[in-house]
Amino acid sequence: MVEKNRKGRDVRKLCELLGISKSGFYAWRNREESAHRIHDRRLTDAIVELHQGFRKAYGARRMHQQLKRNGLSCSVRRVSRLMKSVGVKASSRGLYTWNPGKHEFYSSTGNQLGAEDPADTVGQQWAGDFTYIKTGTGWLYHAVVIDLFTRSVVGWSFSRKRNSELTKSALKMALARQRPQEGCIFHSDQGIEYAAHEYRELVESAGMTRSMSRKGNPLDNAIVESFFHSMKTELVHQRMFENEIDAVAHIIEYIEFYNRERLHSSLGYQSPSEYEKLAA
C-alpha cells in the first residue's frame, strides 16, 4: 500500500510539472497504440533488418524503394525520419558532384566513348579498370569489366601482380559470359595494362573498338570508378581480409549482390539483372 501511495504521489508531481491532469495521463497510458505508430514500428524493424551487410550503404531513397518492394507503404520523408530515430544512415556519400557545362571542356581525343550517346542496349559499351585491395598477407589487384547499359559487372579477375594478364583475364571472362555487339566500345584508362599490344589485340579480335580516358580524368570512366567506390565503401572498408582467398570470396559475393540485388538510382532503383530483363 505504501509503495502504491508513493507511486501515486510521483505521478501527481510529474503531471503538475508537465501541466497535465492525472486523468489525462492515465487515459493516454491506457490508450491503444495508433495504426500510424504500429506501422512506424513495422517500418523501423524492417529498416534495421535491411541495414545489414552491403545494404548499410542504403540511404533514405534506396531504403524507401526496397521497403516498397517488400510491400511496406511509406514515403521517403517518413523513412528518413525513422532512420534518424534509430541512428541508421548510409555508409557512403556521393562520389562526384555534377557541374553543368563542365564536360564541354573535355577533349574527345582517344575517348571514343565520350563522343557517343549513352548505351541503349546490352553489349554496346563496356568499360574496364582495376584497383588494389589490402589483405593480411599483402596487396591484391582486382580488375573488372562493366556493361555500361546495365551497370552489370560482366567480368572480373584477381592477381598479386599488376600487369596485362590481370586485365586480360577480366576481359576474357566477360567475353565468355556475354558476347558484345560488333563494334562495341571498350573503354579504359591509358595504363600500360590496357595499352599493351597483347591487350589491344584481344580487344580488336573480339570485334570491339578501343577507347581511352585522358590522363588524370577519372570522370571519363565514371561508372567503373563508381563501382569501385561502392565496393570499397560497402565492403572493403568495413573489414580486414585475412588473406587473398578471404578477399576474393567476399568480393565475388559482393559482385553477385551488386548485379542481382543492389538498387541503382541510375536504373530507376532496379538491380542490373532486373534492368536487363526488362530491356530484353
pLDDT at residue 210 above 60? yes
Sole residue written with cell 526488362: 278
DSSP for 6-40 reads HHHHHHHHHHHHHT--HHHHHHHHHSPPPHHHHHH
> What is the average per-residue pLDDT within 230-258?
94
With a cut of 90, say whether residue 33 has pLDDT above it. no
The verdict on 257 and 140 lying in the same domain is: yes
Could you give phi then psi for residue 81, rounded to 5 degrees? Answer: -65, -45
Question: Nearest 5°: CA angle at 278, between 275 and 280?
Answer: 105
Do 46 and 152 share a domain, yes or no?
A: no
CA dihedral 270, 274, 278, 280 (to 10 degrees): 140
For residue 216, pLDDT beyond 60: no
What is the model's pLDDT at position 177? 94
Residue 10, pLDDT > 60, answer yes
The C-alpha angle 76, 255, 45, rounded to 5 degrees, equals 35
pLDDT at residue 11 in the model: 67
pLDDT at 271 > cutoff 90: yes
- Domain membership flag for residue 226: yes
Which pLDDT does position 86 carry in this prediction?
Answer: 78
Check whether residue 74 and residue 110 sit in a common domain. no
What is this structure's pTM? 0.72
Residues making up the chain, counted from first to last: 280
Q: Which of residues 116 and 131 earns the better pLDDT score?
A: 131
Q: Is residue 223 part of a domain?
A: yes
For 137, 164, 229, the CA distances from 188, given in Å and listed in that order, are 29, 13, 17
| 91 falls within a domain | no
pLDDT at 280: 73
| Position 93 pLDDT exceeds 60 | no
Comparing 32 with 252, the larger pLDDT belongs to 252
Rounded to whole angstroms, the Cα distance separating 48 from 46 reads 6
Q: 161 is in which domain, residue-wise?
A: 102-279
Question: Which of the listed residues 57, 85, 113 is the one where a domain comes to its end?
Answer: 85
Residue 108 shares a structural domain with residue 241: yes
- Quote the number of domains for the chain: 2
Shared-domain flag, residues 181 and 269 = yes
Residue 8 clears pLDDT 70, i.e. is over it: no
- Cα separation of 63 and 47, whole Å? 7
